Amino acid sequence: MQKTISLLKRENELTIIDTPLDINLEISHLAYAEVKKDDGGKALLFTNVMDGDKKFDEDVVMNLFGSYKRCELIFGKGIEDVANEIETLLHMKPPSGFGEKISMAQNLFSLKNIFPKRSNKKGACQEVIFEGDDINLKDLPILKTWEQDGGAFITMGQVYTQSFDGELQNLGMYRLQVYDNKTLGMHWQIHKDASHFFDQYQKAGKNMPVSIAIGGDPLYTWCATAPLPYGVNELLLYGFIKKEPAKLVKSITNDIYIPSDVDYVIEGWVDPSEMKVEGPFGDHTGYYTLEEPYPSLEVSAITKKRNSTFVATVVGKPPLEDKYMGWPTERIFLPLLKTTAPALVDYHMPENGVFHNLILAKMETHYRGHAKQFMHVFWGAGQMSFVKQAIFLDDNAPKLTNYEVLTAYILNRFTSKSIFISEGINDALDHSSDEALVGGKLGIDVTASRSPEAPTLLSDDKLLEKIKECVDDAVSLHQHMRNTKNPITLISVNKTKNAKDYFKSLKKLKEFMKIVVFIDHEANDVQNAYMSVWRVVNNMDAQRDVFMDGEFIGIDGTNKNELDGFKRRWPDDVNCTLSVVNKLKKLGLWNLDESLEKKYQLY
């Protein structure tokens, strides 16, 4: 970590904040503003960290991964270079000549370094050891990020676990709530490897050992997020990228091995017979995830370096640090995803789709119905199975990150025949489906060239006037992508009915509109395409919220309630606390442009 901080200083990628700031909201709010800047801002090193009147000895660093440049500095190489190495290995053929034999030998020889190495000695992470009555999680500068959070949470923890038989090791990242001095919540969702291991310990009636590392080489933290198949140790990926093995030492009070150079280790045991209510937590969806029971860790030791730095991130509405952390994931795992879905050419996860809510995919199509077949493959491929909405394009489509051009390409080929609705598993953080973990899937197939008819366009004012004659609750309107054959009419409403009733009332106006999207007037801006995409893909369940009448398509992106027959509790948006923002502005620390505050809807 100290090497990384020195590197970021040399590269002008670090801002040092010496002003005293509190772990309760202040530090996280400033980091949240920083990552909203167009370039992702700088990494922030807080050197005067407070909890009320209590001052911590250690610094806190945030936004480490928050730019494309910093990601490549942390990886030590180009991200595409890593992806190309993986693709080369996956497609390695028998060598035909001496030169190819030498090249293959070099590639294979480098693989000897991917396997972690265990040491019998203590590591730098164990220079200071706290056990028994000396254990106190509140002596660590663990942040409370949002006003409605259930408490302070570790957000950049590397969670090391192993299977009951000890044969499989896993490194994952899960949020960890501080309950008291010695207890942490373990928010591992049901599809995570640690949760599978937990099931094994639960069946055996044995406590589960867990060690949580913080800091060290930031690449450990990224590897903890990598969507590797079950049973594959994420530290193998670390060795592959670094071309040197992760050096491990045994925890003090359990048998879990952790990297020797991390800054902190929190060791303990999970009792499978006990669950605690965890949350709420302002999550990367931009909403609070609600209270639910999860396992908890009873801490048996805390160890640390003498010169330690605490690492944290902040999540909420996009864009966030995970935008940049997701970029290497997207690029590096493309070759692996192609082994499951060979027709895949490329894919992209827009940050305002918060990864599991919207994915764009480019594919080769070889026969009629190929895209529909591919959707089933895609939704069955590891963590891609949690994707709610996916748009599939042919391999002649524009670059997937050229959003304006790509959107026009999609809308000029889209008809009602492009829509495919299915059902499948949802991410545990999804709040929109009628039941937890299961909901609608929307696939849009624009691989084939179709010729939709364009509507007769009216000005926004004239169209809104006509709409208000049909829908009393309509407040404002904007037609996006008017230059295409399928302009998107975004209507804000003060909702007193199910949106399907609004859609039915507008059928008489369908000569003027093709795609109609409803959002709540409160907290939304129909002119703001970026945040409207975020809102709608968060709030919709395709089975319930997509309406069709021929080529007239409706989408309900409103918050759901009893008008929709929705029984679950709808979560609040994640918003900054204005008094905290005003304090940071008064201190001269908050320098986010007001236009970006408005664009990303910070309040």
DSSP string over 227-276: -PPTT--HHHHHHHHHTSPPEEEE-SSSS-EEETT-SEEEEEEE-TT--E
Tell me phi and psi for residue 271, to 5 degrees. -85, 110
Q: Which CATH superfamily is domain 2-76+114-312 in?
A: Electron Transport, Fmn-binding Protein; Chain A (2.30.110.10)
Rounded distance between C-alpha atoms, residue 359 and residue 329, angstroms: 14
Tell me phi and psi for residue 511, to 5 degrees. -70, -20
Structure tokens at 426: 């949802």
Structure tokens at 368: 């009629």
251 CB burial (10 A radius; 0-12, 13-18, 19+): buried
How many Å separate Cα 451 from the centre of its chain?
Answer: 36
Side chain identity, residue 249: V
Taking a C-beta distance cutoff of 8 angstroms, is the pair 416, 553 a contact?
yes
Cα→Cα distances 500→95, 518, 531, Å: 62, 10, 22
Side chain identity, residue 80: E
Cα torsion through 349, 354, 356, 358, rounded to 10: -60
Side chain identity, residue 67: S
Quick one: pLDDT at residue 541?
98
**Residue 494: CB atoms within 10 Å:** 11
HSE toward the beta carbon, residue 98, CA cutoff 13 A: 0
Taking a C-beta distance cutoff of 8 angstroms, is the pair 245, 114 a contact?
yes
Rounded distance between C-alpha atoms, residue 205 and residue 201, angstroms: 6
Quick one: pLDDT at residue 473?
98
Structure tokens at 220: 């450990």
Total H helices, total E strands in the chain: 18, 33
Kindly list the averaged pLDDT for each block of 10 residues, start to end, along the chain of length 603.
Answer: 98 98 98 96 98 97 98 97 89 64 57 91 98 98 98 98 96 97 94 92 98 98 94 95 96 98 98 96 97 97 98 98 96 92 94 95 94 89 91 97 98 96 94 95 94 96 98 98 98 98 97 98 98 98 98 98 97 98 98 97 96
Rounded distance between C-alpha atoms, residue 571 and residue 283, angstroms: 11
Quick one: pLDDT at residue 91?
66
Quick one: pLDDT at residue 141?
98
328-446 and 460-564 in the same fold: yes
Query: Checking DSSP bridges between strand 128-131 and strand 389-394, what pairing results, if any?
Result: unpaired
Quick one: pLDDT at residue 98?
64
The alpha helices in 352-471, defined as continuous H runs, are 370-378, 403-411, 460-470
Q: Which CATH superfamily is domain 328-446 in?
A: UbiD C-terminal domain-like (3.40.1670.10)
Taking a C-beta distance cutoff of 8 angstroms, is the pair 188, 172 a contact?
yes
Taking a C-beta distance cutoff of 8 angstroms, is the pair 186, 296 a contact?
yes
| Angle between the N-to-C axes of helices 26-35 and 578-586, in degrees from 0 to 180, rounded to the nearest 10 | 80
DSSP 139: G
Quick one: pLDDT at residue 103?
59
Rounded distance between C-alpha atoms, residue 72 and residue 182, angstroms: 37
Rounded distance between C-alpha atoms, residue 278 and residue 504, angstroms: 41
Q: Among 3.40.1670.10, 3.30.1540.10, 3.40.309.10, 3.30.450.20, what is the CATH number of 460-564?
A: 3.40.1670.10
- For the chain, the straight-line distance linking the first and the last C-alpha, in angstroms and rounded, comes to 33
Cα torsion through 298, 304, 310, 313, rounded to 10: -40
Taking a C-beta distance cutoff of 8 angstroms, is the pair 124, 260 a contact?
yes
Side chain identity, residue 218: P
Taking a C-beta distance cutoff of 8 angstroms, is the pair 224, 192 a contact?
no
Cα→Cα distances 427→186, 212, 336, 578, Å: 17, 23, 21, 31
In sequence order, which residues have a C-beta less than 8 Å from that of residue 562 and are 6 or more positions away?
none
Domain residue spans of the chain: 2-76+114-312, 328-446, 460-564
Side chain identity, residue 258: I
Hunting for tokens 């055996």 — which residue is that? Answer: 204
| Preceding peptide of 280 cis, ω within 30° | yes
| DSSP result, 402-466 | -HHHHHHHHHTT--GGGEEEEEEE--TT---SSBTTEEEEEEEEESS---PPPPPP--HHHHHHH
Q: What is the CA radius of gyration of the chain?
A: 25
Side chain identity, residue 425: I
Taking a C-beta distance cutoff of 8 angstroms, is the pair 51, 23 a contact?
yes
Query: Checking DSSP bridges between strand 49-51 and strand 21-22, what pairing results, if any?
Result: parallel
Cα→Cα distances 337→116, 264, 322, 341, Å: 25, 34, 20, 6
Helix, strand, or coil (residue 440): strand
Element (H, E) at 160: strand 158-162
